[in-house]
Amino acid sequence: MPISIEESRVPFRGACKSVSNAVAPMTGTVRVLSDLHLGHSGTMIEDVEQLAPLIEGADTVIFNGDTFEERCPAFYEKGHDMLGELDALCRSVGAEAVYLSGNHDPDSWEHSWVDLCQGDVFVSHGHAILKYISPWSRNAGKTAQTIDGLWQEFEDSEQTIEQRFELTRKSCHATTVYQPQLGRSLISKALTVAEEAWPPSRPLSVIRTWINSPEDARDFVAEYRPHAKFFIMGHTHFPGIWKSGGLNVINTGAFFLLLNARTVEIADGRMTVHAIKRNRSGEFVRGVQKGVFSNLPLTTSE
Ligand SMILES: [Fe+2]
């Protein structure tokens, strides 16, 4: 599924065959956003210009997965167009865009994670912490067998982080993505929420994932980034900050109705987490501060 973003400074290799972490060093102010789901009928982002206040002033913006709907034919074209606009917006305000893969865009980006602050901060979409990627999905039962088979091969290997993310990428392809034709009206959205909540085992699975994800994140980081103190993720769309063992897990939520997005900023050894709200002009701006962490090493990727 080739993507071409004119004059993009973002490393891109089309349908990537492997994952790597050769991200150029980052300095200055780094911000993290996730789960924009550009092109999806349920995203709150109608025009990428709405994101300008969250991008302006940053030297680097990390889009931490599910940036656009690579896997949904019904949403792909619009998502791809919006992605080009997002890239242009970042360039116009002098911000370097770094895109990481998510389960909705597993093949478009070269990178699946970055290490910041001399390894204290690990940033990745978060789908890799879940063996079945989206265990709440309608077809989770059917895809489990395929993913079990992939894991069997993996467990016989050396299990490096690169191999783990390649396994995750393959597992994404074992899953299918739901394409609700969601209208913009509140009634249409309410109907879709109701449909999403049926059968009741689905919301229960979502809640179980939300409850378990800080521990799942801790276990993943203990395996692959044992020295990290922070894990910035998205994926479950449930925003929050949790302490699990010695790890701070920060979830930046999603740009969907009911579930708010958050933004993380790292600058001068200080990390802040803010809720995102819409102003009267419809732009997304920083809202209430949800967390602050000080004394981090310099903001550079390793
Ligand atoms: Fe997502």
Q: Per the domain annotation, does 2 fall within a domain?
A: no
Q: What is the pLDDT of residue 130?
A: 96
CA 288 to ligand 1 center in whole angstroms: 22
Count of domains forming the chain? 1
DSSP letter (8 states) at residue 25: P
Ligand 1 centroid, distance to 40 Cα (angstroms): 10
Are the CB atoms for 44 and 276 separated by under 8 Å? no
Q: pLDDT tens for residues 174-183?
A: 887 766 655 6
Question: In 85-142, at which residue ranges do the beta strands (DSSP E only) sit?
Answer: 96-100, 113-116, 121-124
Q: CA-CA distance, 54 to 41, in Å (whole number)?
A: 22
Element (H or E) spanning 51, and its range?
A: none
The predicted pLDDT at position 190 comes to 66
Q: Which domain holds residue 174?
A: 30-293
pLDDT at 72: 87
Task: Tell me if 298 is assigned to some domain.
Answer: no
Q: How far is the CA of 210 from the centre of ligand 1 (A)?
A: 13
What is the Å distance from ligand 1's center to 34 Cα? Answer: 8
State the distance from the centre of ligand 1 to the C-alpha of 295, rounded, in angstroms.
Answer: 30
Spacing, Cα 227 to ligand 1 middle (Å): 27
From the CA of 124, how far away is ligand 1's center (Å)?
A: 12
Determine, yes or no, domain membership for 35: yes
- Note the pLDDT of residue 49: 98
- The Cα 177–Cα 107 span in angstroms is 14
126 Cα–ligand 1 center, Å: 10
- Residue 295 pLDDT: 84
3-state SS assignment for residue 227: coil
Q: Measured in angstroms, how far is the CA atom of residue 8 from the centroid of ligand 1? A: 23
pTM reported for the whole predicted model: 0.87
Token readout for 149 is 């088979």
Structure tokens at 55: 């991008």
Q: Mention every residue, 6+ apart, whose C-beta is less than 8 A from residue 84.
A: 5, 6
181 CA distance to ligand 1 middle (Å): 17
Query: What is the Å distance from ligand 1's center to 101 Cα?
Result: 11
- Using the mean position of ligand 1's atoms as its centre, give its distance from the Cα of residue 167 in Å: 19
- Whether 299 is covered by a domain: the verdict is no
Q: 71: domain CATH number?
A: 3.60.21.10
- Whole-number Å distance, alpha carbon 236 to ligand 1 midpoint, is 7
Task: Give strand ranges (E) for the chain.
Answer: 30-33, 60-64, 96-100, 113-116, 121-124, 230-233, 240-244, 247-251, 262-267, 270-278, 284-293
Q: How far is the CA of 32 from the centre of ligand 1 (A)?
A: 14
Please give the pLDDT value at position 20. 43
Distance 215 CA to ligand 1 centre (A): 19
Q: Report the side by side order of strands in the sheet with 60-64.
A: 96-100, 60-64, 30-33, 262-267, 270-278, 284-293
Q: How far is the CA of 175 from the centre of ligand 1 (A)?
A: 14
Could you report the average pLDDT of every consecutive run of 10 residues in the chain (302 residues)?
34 35 72 96 94 97 96 92 97 96 95 93 97 87 90 81 94 79 63 65 88 96 96 97 95 90 95 97 97 80 48
Mark 14-37 as b/e (b = at least 16 C-beta within 10 Å): eebeebebebeebeebbbbbbbbb
Is 32 strand, coil or helix? strand
Within a domain: residue 82?
A: yes
DSSP 84: H
Asked if residue 237 is part of any domain, the answer here is yes
Question: Rounded to whole angstroms, how far apart are CA atoms 164 and 179?
Answer: 27
pLDDT of 27 reads: 77
Residue 15 lies in a domain: no
Residue 68 DSSP code: B
Would you say residue 260 lies in a domain?
A: yes
